[in-house]
Structure formats: C-alpha cells, structure tokens
Amino acid sequence: MQTINRLDTLRSALEKLAAEGPVALVPTMGALHSGHLTLVRAARARAAHVVVSIFVNPRQFGAGEDLDAYPRQLAADAALLRAEGVAVLWAPDAATMYPSGYATNISVGGVSDGLCGAARPGHFDGVATVVCKLFNQVRPDIALFGEKDWQQLAVIRRMARDLDLTQPHVDAIIGAPIARAEDGLALSSRNAYLTPQERAQAPTLARAMQAAIAAIHGGAPVAGTLAELEQALLAGGFSAVDYAELRDADTLAPLAERGTGPARLLVAARLGRTRLIDNMAA
C-alpha cells in the first residue's frame, strides 16, 4: 500500500492503477473501525484497486464542533488498511485540499435541508465540496459510503446526478449497511468520546428506534410515537434530541404517516458531549 499526500504523486499512482482495472474510492475521516472496513471489503469485492482517503475536513465542522478533538491515528489506520489489501491511502493535509485562495463551495439544496443540515449549518456544503474534490482527485469508477450517514449519501447522490458526474456515475455510488456493535450501537469514530457509563447507555438509541418502528408498523400515530421515542431517550440518559423524524427513504421528504413507499426513521441525540446519529428502515 502506498500512503500518498501530494496530488501529483496521487495522479501518477492512479494512472497506473486505472490502466489495470476498476478503481474504488472509500472516503473517510480516519479513526477507522470495523464499519469503515466493511466498506473497504465491499470495495475490494467490486474493484481491482481500492483507494481509501483519510481527511478530517475542516469545512464540514461548524464553529464549536469537535474538529480539534476528532480522533487522529494515521499510523494505526494505515496498518488496518494495509492488512485489507488497500492499494493507496490518500491522506492530504488541509493546505493540499484547500490551498491559499481556495474559494469554491458546493451547496446541494433540498436533501441537505433539515435533519443534520438544520442541526449543523453548512455541514453538507462541506461534505459535498470535499467529496466532489475527492472524486476529481481520484476519478474512481465506484465509490462507497455508509448508510450510517443516510442524509450524506442522499446529498452525494443528488450532487453526482445534478453535476453529471461520470467518475463515479451516480449509479456507481454504493451505500453499505450500518455496522453495529453486538448491543446494537452503530459503530462511529465518535463513540471513542463516550465514557464507560455513556457507552452503557448508548444502545438505548437503537432499542428505542426499533420500538418506535414496531409501534408505527402496528398502527400507532407517527407524531405521538416520535414524541415517545424522544422521551425514552431523555429517560435513558440522553441530554437532548436534535431530531427524531420519519422521512421518505429516497427523497427525505417528511412523512406525517407511514405510506406505501420506503420510509426511514432518522435520529440524532446527545449523550454527554457526544452527538450520536442512527437511522433504520421503517
């Protein structure tokens, strides 16, 4: 595995790899866990070569968020990726990604609104901008993203469709199911912030979501069920619920009632200083 942090070096490495077969990109912010490795394995199954990017993207963190505290462990991450047969670890620094004079922003309307877009203003502009740059830098045939960040996946697909991207084409943007701990907690680099007591409380999120979905399927009204879900989280030790919403799974349009199309329950809630997100088919 080559670890590369210069764009010209990346370009020449990729020229050789692309000549040998399809290239897959897995964008990450590092602090890798087995959820990330699920994406890497899915990428390996579909492409000749896998490129993983690690870049803690300042543009997707708001003022007062955890940019400085975000876990950084490049050497350990590189060892994990090497063992997974990754061809290239693309690890640019902020000055390489956003050189002096950098002035362009990508803003995806509609799907970026509400949910994490409301709780974290500017977050999805930062995500869309860096992912578009990563696509142009790596020019992958396919790219893999986790369903853990359901709204992010919708934003990236919308961008790829709207900007007529070809590397990757919107249909080659692949979502991978959420990897969970045995107790149901969705794996996240931010779980490292949890104290032992908070870690013990955290699975309440997935459990309360499953109970809400069962209630909705049983005919309970959506608004009341979501209010009960919020109460269950607060009673379970969470300090605040940023949102708990039922949405159309594809368009992310709000759903007042469960219709016939695919629906998704999406929740973000705060446990101590950690913000946890999760989503499930509903």
- Please say which residue, 39 or 86, places its beta carbon nearer to ligand AMP: 39
**Residues in 136-175 at the binding interface with ligand AMP, rule: CB under 6 A:** 145-146, 148-149
Q: What's CA 196's distance to the chain center, in Å?
A: 24
Of the candidate residues 142, 186, 206, 229, the single one contacting ligand AMP (CB under 6 A): 186
Q: Min. distance of Cβ 245 from ligand AMP in angstroms? A: 19
From the list 36, 49, 123, 217, the catalytic residue is 36
- Quick one: tokens of 153? 């996946």
- Please say which residue, 147 or 248, places its beta carbon nearer to ligand AMP: 147
Q: Which amino acid is at 90?
A: W
Q: Which amino acid is at 91?
A: A
Q: Are 174 and 142 in contact (CB under 8 A)?
A: yes
Q: Min. distance of Cβ 143 from ligand AMP in angstroms? A: 9
**Residue 222 lies near ligand AMP (rule: CB under 6 A):** no
- Number of neighbours of residue 170 by Cβ within 10 angstroms: 16
What is the DSSP secondary structure assignment for residue 102, as one 8-state letter?
Answer: -
**Residue 189 lies near ligand AMP (rule: CB under 6 A):** yes
Of the candidate residues 23, 37, 38, 278, the single one contacting ligand AMP (CB under 6 A): 38
**Residue 176 lies near ligand AMP (rule: CB under 6 A):** yes
Q: 139 Cβ partners below 8 Å, 6+ apart?
A: 14, 18, 23, 167
Q: Min. distance of Cβ 136 from ligand AMP in angstroms? A: 18
> What residues form DSSP beta bridges with 25?
51, 143
Q: 18 Cβ partners below 8 Å, 6+ apart?
A: 139
> What residues form DSSP beta bridges with 208?
none
Q: Min. distance of Cβ 269 from ligand AMP in angstroms? A: 16
**Residues in 12-31 at the binding interface with ligand AMP, rule: CB under 6 A:** 28-29
Q: Which amino acid is at 200?
A: A
**Residues in 68-127 at the binding interface with ligand AMP, rule: CB under 6 A:** none
> What residues form DSSP beta bridges with 263?
248
**Residue 178 lies near ligand AMP (rule: CB under 6 A):** yes
> What does the angle CA 143 – CA 148 – CA 152 come to, to the nearest 5 degrees?
60
- Please say which residue, 216 or 252, places its beta carbon nearer to ligand AMP: 252
240-248/142-146 β-pairing: unpaired
- Please say which residue, 32 or 241, places its beta carbon nearer to ligand AMP: 32
Of the candidate residues 112, 137, 188, 274, the single one contacting ligand AMP (CB under 6 A): 188
Whole-angstrom distance, CA of residue 265 vs CA of residue 279 = 5
Q: Which stretch binds ligand AMP (CB under 6 A): 62-70, 85-93, 158-166, 185-193?
A: 185-193
Residue tagged 């499953």 (tokens):
210
Look up 36 and say whether it is catalytic. yes
Q: Rounded to 5 degrees, what are φ and ψ at 201?
A: -85, -25
**Residue 268 lies near ligand AMP (rule: CB under 6 A):** no
Binding stretches for ligand AMP (CB under 6 A): 28-29, 35-36, 38-39, 145-146, 148-149, 176, 178-179, 186-189
Which residues are annotated as catalytic?
36
